[in-house]
């Protein structure tokens, strides 16, 4: 049993009382969608380059809503000219959900993003003739490689940047030797497509489907980047690949799926990501037909819940609840988690500690999270309660005497209120009754909830004013208080100078 310590002095402590997850019946979600494809095909007689795009920004009430979009496609014959030295600057600007590239070097055809083990994306596809700025919807978590592909006749020339969220701008001065190319349009068409949304279910497998290719993925819990900070996240990722190699033919195909769901205060969903990336490379060198086919396709959807709260983490840890890992993050706005946070409350255990109840599936657990990120589970116990009178300081009080089974863990129990008035909670110590810190008991759903490093017997004393009250200062009052203190100090200094 750990040494018992009760802090019976007033402490300046921010004390959020019980916090419950708020559910909105019909949230307004911001949805951003983008799809790009880029194909280079080479035969013995000609070279063809084709790129396609579709995108939208909209507001939806559900990520399962269908959306009808327009898909634009352009095809070109590639006319290859002489080798030419191009000199200029290439600049990259990174923001939370987009990347822009400004290139003074022409013939930019693709911008790719690769974060190994997590995601691949076509940020942009097309073709530039002069200095141009292109921009695309994108996501990466920590550090990624940005690949700029310039059309170089029958292949691509690559320029790479290593990017992160700690830096927003990147620049390189380059001299690039490229085959000068001119494009002649051979086709242009527009399709109308229906996009069906999907929404991952936390703590469940995810099934992906792309043009008949299906894959399943289990979930992983993690901390992931979201709009300027890191929040709890669940990640589903899977890959389907194929390979065919003969003396004449080489076929390599891959489809990668990534879904991420981001969680904020009380385990609310603050946003989600749905990404699919496919790559096909095919060559056939035969007696009659010689062909090389290089194609990329990528689609990404980012959903933002603008009403959900999230904040910078002060403490982060991972706990097991019913065998499921739950990321728990303590912030100054509340508790974030991949699990549902049914309540949280500041308690005192050698210092300020957070008591939470989290639920991953059908049932949950009480846990205390300490400032260093360590944690302990809290046992919920059923008390035995009798009502009596006790005398403290010469005065008699109505008292609920609560007996519990002792435990080596921290415990929590609740008791129905006997009287609607102020009360204090005591425990039976080795030297008599000891008052609990007022942070360690509170009213929830009309019941008194007590948290403690346990004893056998507790006393809920009605009409007794707690002798140790922690308190908080509202941020709205803090500035006036500081100004008042500064004013008093200045007045005192001036008065002393006059003497």
Q: Is residue 243 within 8 Å of 250, Cβ to Cβ?
A: no
Phi then psi dihedrals of residue 45, to 5 deg = -105, -25
CA distance 39 to 137: 20
Q: Give residue 39's pLDDT.
A: 97
Tens-digit pLDDT profile for residues 260-302 = 999 999 999 999 999 999 999 998 887 677 899 999 999 999 9
Q: Is residue 301 within 8 Å of 339, Cβ to Cβ?
A: no
Q: Range with the lowest mean pLDDT among 226-230, 377-381, 469-473?
A: 469-473
Above 80 in pLDDT, residue 61?
A: no
Task: Give the chain's mean pLDDT.
Answer: 86
Q: Give residue 249's pLDDT.
A: 77
Tens-digit pLDDT profile for residues 15-32 = 333 444 334 345 688 999
Above 70 in pLDDT, residue 110?
A: yes
The 3 state secondary structure assigned to 7-68 is CCCCCECCCCCCCCCCCCCCCCEEEEEEEEEEEEEEECCCEEEEEEEEEEEEEECCCCCEEE
Q: Range with the lowest mean pLDDT among 59-63, 79-83, 347-351, 387-391?
A: 59-63
Listed residue (447, 454, 441) closest to 403, CA to CA: 454
Average pLDDT in the 375-401 region?
95
CA distance 32 to 37: 17
Q: Give residue 119's pLDDT.
A: 96
Element (H, E) at 191: strand 169-196
Q: Is residue 325 within 8 Å of 285, Cβ to Cβ?
A: no
What is the token pair recorded at 10?
A: 């007033």
Residue with tokens 């013939």: 107
CA distance 6 to 349: 8
Listed residue (91, 77, 13, 3) closest to 45, CA to CA: 77
Q: Give residue 152's pLDDT.
A: 97
């Amino acid at each position: 049993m750990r040494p018992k310590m009760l802090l019976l002095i007033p402490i300046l402590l921010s004390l959020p009382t019980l916090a419950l997850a708020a559910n909105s019946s019909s949230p307004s979600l911001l949805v951003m969608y983008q799809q790009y494809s880029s194909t280079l095909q080479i035969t013995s007689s000609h070279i063809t380059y084709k790129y396609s795009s579709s995108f939208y920004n909209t507001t939806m009430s559900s990520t399962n809503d269908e959306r009808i979009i327009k898909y634009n496609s352009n095809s070109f014959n590639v006319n290859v000219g002489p080798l030419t030295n191009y000199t200029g600057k290439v600049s990259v600007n990174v923001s939370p959900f987009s990347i822009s590239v400004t290139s003074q070097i022409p013939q930019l055809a693709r911008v790719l993003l690769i974060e190994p083990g997590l995601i691949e994306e076509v940020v942009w596809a097309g073709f530039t003739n002069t200095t141009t700025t292109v921009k695309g919807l994108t996501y990466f978590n920590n550090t990624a490689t940005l690949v700029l592909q310039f059309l170089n006749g029958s292949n691509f020339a690559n320029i790479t940047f290593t990017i992160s969220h700690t830096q927003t701008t990147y620049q390189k001065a380059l001299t690039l030797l490229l085959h000068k190319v001119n494009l002649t349009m051979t086709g242009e068409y527009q399709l109308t497509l229906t996009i069906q949304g999907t929404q991952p279910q936390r703590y469940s497998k995810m099934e992906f489907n792309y043009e008949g290719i299906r894959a399943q993925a289990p979930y992983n819990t993690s901390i992931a980047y979201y709009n300027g900070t890191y929040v709890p996240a669940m990640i589903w990722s899977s890959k389907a690949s194929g390979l065919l190699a003969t003396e004449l033919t080489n076929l390599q195909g891959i489809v990668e799926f990534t879904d991420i769901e981001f969680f904020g205060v009380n385990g609310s969903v603050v946003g989600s990501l749905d990404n699919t990336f496919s790559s096909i490379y095919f060559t056939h060198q035969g007696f009659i037909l010689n062909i090389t086919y290089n194609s990329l396709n990528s689609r990404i959807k980012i959903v933002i819940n603008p009403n959900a709260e999230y904040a910078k983490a002060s403490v982060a840890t991972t706990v097991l609840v019913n065998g499921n890992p739950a990321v728990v993050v303590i912030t100054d706005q509340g508790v974030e988690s991949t699990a549902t946070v049914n309540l949280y409350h500041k308690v005192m255990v050698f210092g300020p500690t957070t008591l939470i109840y989290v639920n991953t599936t059908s049932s949950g657990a009480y846990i205390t999270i300490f400032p260093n990120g360590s944690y302990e589970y809290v046992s919920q116990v059923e008390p035995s309660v009798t009502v009596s009178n006790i005398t403290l300081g010469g005065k008699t009080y109505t008292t609920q005497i609560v007996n519990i089974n002792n435990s080596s863990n921290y415990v929590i129990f609740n008791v129905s209120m006997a009287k609607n008035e102020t009360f204090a909670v005591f425990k039976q110590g080795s030297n008599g009754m000891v008052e609990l810190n007022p942070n360690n008991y509170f009213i929830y759903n009309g019941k008194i909830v007590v948290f403690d490093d346990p004893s056998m017997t507790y006393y809920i004393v009605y009409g007794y004013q707690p002798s140790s009250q922690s308190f908080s200062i509202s941020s709205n009052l803090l500035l006036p208080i500081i100004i008042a203190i500064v004013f008093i100090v200045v007045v005192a200094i001036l008065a002393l100078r006059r003497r």
